[in-house]
Structure 1
Amino acid sequence: MRRALIVIGKAPEPGTTKTRLVPFLAPDEASALYRAFLLDAIHLGLQLGWERTSMVHPRGAGSALKAIVPRQVKLIEQHAGGLGGALAFAFEHHFEEGFERVVLIGSDNPTLPAEPIEQACAALDSYDVSIGPTSDGGYYLIGLRRPHLELFEAIDWSTPRVCAQTLARAQQLGLRVRAVREWYDVDGPADLERLHRELRSAPEVIAPNTRAVLRSLGVAATTTGA
Structure 2
Amino acid sequence: MSKECLIVFTRYPEPGKAKTRLIPALGTQGAANLHRQLTEYTLSRVRELQGERPTSVEVYFSGGNQQLMQDWLGADFVCKPQVDGDLGLRIVSAFDGAFSNGIEGALIIGTDCPDLSAKIMSEAFDGLILHDLVLGPALDGGYYLIGLRRVFPQLFVEIPWGTSEVFAKTIAIASSMNLSIAYLPPLADIDRPEDLAQLKNFEL
Q: TM-score range by the shorter chain?
A: over 0.9
TM-score computed with the length of structure 2 as normaliser: 0.92
Tell me the equivalent position of 1:223. Answer: none
**Match of residue 113, structure 1, among 117, 121, 127:** 117
The higher radius of gyration belongs to 1
Cα distance in structure 1, aligned partners of 2:112 and 2:12: 13
Correspondences of 1:53-68 after superposition (within 5 Å): 53-58=57-62, 61-68=65-72
Correspondences of 1:117-132 after superposition (within 5 Å): 117-132=121-136
Aligned residue identity for 1:161: E
Contact 1:38-1:110 within 8 A present in 2 as well:
no
Aligned residue identity for 1:29: G
TM-score computed with the length of structure 1 as normaliser: 0.84
Cα distance in structure 2, aligned partners of 1:143 and 1:24: 33
Corresponding residue SS for 1:40 = helix
Tell me the equivalent position of 1:69. Answer: 73
Correspondences of 1:1-226 after superposition (within 5 Å): 2-49=3-50, 50-58=54-62, 61-196=65-200, 199=201, 211=202, 214=203, 219=204
Q: Which consecutive residues of structure 2, in runs of 5 or more, have no partner in the other structure?
A: none
Cα distance in structure 2, aligned partners of 1:128 and 1:61: 34
How far 1:113 moved relative to its partner? Answer: 1.3
Cα distance in structure 2, aligned partners of 1:65 and 1:110: 21
Cα distance in structure 2, aligned partners of 1:59 and 1:24: 22
CA RMSD of aligned residues (A): 1.5
Q: How many residues align?
A: 200
Which stretches of structure 1, 4 residues or more, deviate above 3 A after TM superposition? Answer: none
Cα distance in structure 2, aligned partners of 1:85 and 1:23: 29
Q: Which consecutive residues of structure 1, in runs of 5 or more, have no partner in the other structure?
A: 200-210, 220-226
Aligned residue identity for 1:131: L
Cα distance in structure 1, aligned partners of 2:83 and 2:93: 7
Moved more, 91-100 or 149-158: 149-158
